[in-house]
Chain A
Amino acid sequence: GAVVSQHPSWVICKSGTSVKIECRSLDFQATTMFWYRQFPKQSLMLMATSNEGSKATYEQGVEKDKFLINHASLTLSTLTVTSAHPEDSSFYICSAYDFGSGSWNEQFFGPGTRLTVL
């Protein structure tokens, strides 16, 4: 199946700093990627839909100025958490569809990035 990677796998930062998380589709092109956030022992909540070459679509309640998403190429989307605070500590996961595989309904997920803000 298609492979999605994330970098870094974990990051610790000080409050007030910005953190960038990369999501890459390794063997396919992804015009659309999704960013999720998951708090401990909870489910995944969709934050935004990242569209290559255009602005991201954010879910209700997600601050677009705090969570900057850039989908600069067909294989890379980045999520930048600006001025991070301890409440932003979470597990961030990206996903993408591989239309080239003929499977239009299966999202392939990255391994996730654990962010801890001190």
Chain B
Amino acid sequence: ELKVEQNPLFLSMQEGKNYTIYCNYSTTSDRLYWYRQDPGKSLESLFVLLSNGAVKQEGRLMASLDTKARLSTLHITAAVHDLSATYFCAVAVIPNSGGSNYKLTFGKGTLLTVNP
């Protein structure tokens, strides 16, 4: 069974600081996703990482994927209050039955609070 672990689960940081959220997973996969959820809202896609060494950047967020280490990171640079949200990573695995269906397993999320 695929396990996806995020840490930390809670992160309180000051504006202007840098920090990294980690996402470890237990089964071989080359597809990893990052989502953001604002309080009381739905989820929105941030990044799709599809190969080993993939790096994507959008504004103050940068995500990377190391499939050999089964690790993805979401790095926050010079945090601002608007980045306060819950961040989820999700890993896709094609079941043993094959085909094009795939299961998506989410981490428990990291609640990020950026303080002035």
Our verdict on whether A and B bind, yes or no, reads: no
Binding site for A on B (CB under 8 A): none
